[in-house]
Amino acid sequence: MQISVSGHHIEVTESLRTFVESKFEKLERHFDHVTDVHVVLTVEKLNQKAEATVQISGAKLFAEDTQEDMYVAIDKLVDKLDRQIIKHKEKTSSHR
């Protein structure tokens, strides 16, 4: 899995980058075919926004979350993507 982290109106520090990488490794435990993750961290006045596009085999998933703390926004973003991946995996698996 290749993770790219970029910032908009924010400098992506090493601690933010390692936090994002450790959280997004959690996505591989449900679905092995996660190929590419692009994360954009944005600061808009008092709101911290995290959005991500995840490319898995045959589909692209997108989620975003806005909070007052960037770490909380990243955490909730990963939870949203985790639910989407589980839902996608259930759709593609055979239910015989």
Question: For residue 89, is pLDDT > 90?
Answer: no
The confidence score (pLDDT) of residue 27 equals: 83
pLDDT-based confidence at residue 96 (cuts at 50, 70, 90): low
Q: Domain-by-domain residue ranges, the chain? A: 2-92
Rg (CA), the chain: 14
Question: What integer pLDDT is reported at residue 30 of this predicted model?
Answer: 75
Q: What is the mean pLDDT of residues 87-94?
A: 81
CA distance 76 to 66: 9
Between 22 and 91, residue with greater pLDDT:
22
Q: Mean pLDDT throughout 64-83?
A: 94
Q: Provide the whole-model pTM.
A: 0.88
Q: What percent of the chain has pLDDT over 90?
A: 62
Q: What is the CATH number of domain 2-92?
A: 3.30.160.100
User: 27-31, 79-83, 92-96: which has the minimum mean pLDDT?
Assistant: 92-96
- Give me the mean pLDDT over the 40-62 stretch: 92
